[in-house]
Amino acid sequence: MPRIYDSASDAHDFCKFCIPKEAKAIELFGNVGDGPDGRGNCFEYEALHPEYGQDDRDLCETCNKELTERDA
């Protein structure tokens, strides 16, 4: 965390300082598609993030800071 899934079910990761407030997140990510296989709006705010450092580096979408467990 902090992770936002947009309505198309794509993940957007942020550090705890850059995550937008929920109302702004809905405005930015809440109406961008119908999710995989047309199953409807998959928007989710502050979704759980898989363990950091498993594969690729996780970076904040806004400031490009590398995300670690401190950001959970």
Range of the domain at 35: 1-72
What string of pLDDT tens digits covers the 72 residues of the chain?
578 998 888 889 998 899 999 999 999 988 776 766 767 788 889 887 777 666 667 889 999 998 877 776
- Answering whether pTM is above 0.85, one says no
- Among 27, 25, 26, 4, CA closest to 14: 4
The count of C-alpha atoms lying within 13 angstroms of the C-alpha of 35, restricted to the half-sphere facing its C-beta, is: 11
* Number of domains the chain is built from: 1
Tokens of 15: 């550090």
